[in-house]
Structure 1
Amino acid sequence: MKVLQTPTFERKYKKLNRNELSLLNEAIDAVIDNPQIGELKRGDLGDIRVYKARTGRREVLLAYLSAGNSLKLL
């Protein structure tokens, strides 16, 4: 599967600390394995899915678009 990143995602990704990076990388791997795992947004954002990754008190939200064989991280 081809994984694409928006410029906004790249900037935010660089600013995360080590623990958040490992949690986000695990979330990305989970989404790559099963693109239907995230909750589908409603209304105008109906094509976007959001996956919630939690560890202890920390939560990371991963928004993405899945189309065919590509995954676009928002």
Structure 2
Amino acid sequence: MRTSFKHPFAQYVNKANRPLQLAIEDKVEMICETPEIGELKAGGLADVRAYKSRFNQQEYPIAYRSPARNIPIEFMIIDFYQIGTYENFYDKLKQYLRHDKNLRDGSRSRI
């Protein structure tokens, strides 16, 4: 199984201190072993799972998208979208997913 780290996820991990980075690495490995561990979201975050981890009495939700079930494990890719503190986490995630979808569709909004 392969992993794909989107920009917000990678940026947060790179700025985090070393103990938090190691804790995140452990959680990523755990999610890769059992992708269904996270809570499946609904509405604007359909198909996105969120796993709530704790570090130093602080909650750090991890947002990811697990692959379809009928894909062989060698070809599975888990996309990790975002990690951070709980404040505005889901609002920022929705904003990123909308922006990412617009870029993939080729329809950039002009301001």
Give TM-score scaled by structure 2 length.
0.61
| Matching residue of 1:2 | 2
Name the structure with the higher strand share.
1
Following superposition, the deviation at residue 59 of structure 1 comes to 2.1
Cα separation, 2, equivalents of 1:60 and 1:17: 14
Name the structure with the higher helix share.
2
- Aligned pair count? 74
Over the residues paired in the alignment, what is the CA RMSD in angstroms?
Answer: 1.3
| Partner SS, residue 67 of structure 1 | coil
Kindly name which structure, 1 or 2, has the bigger radius of gyration based on alpha carbons. 2
Q: Runs of 5+ in structure 1 lacking a partner?
A: none
Cα separation, 1, equivalents of 2:2 and 2:22: 20
Cα separation, 1, equivalents of 2:48 and 2:11: 20
Give TM-score scaled by structure 1 length.
0.89
Higher RCO, Cα 8 Å, sep 6+:
1
Structure 1 stretches of 4+ moved >6 Å: none
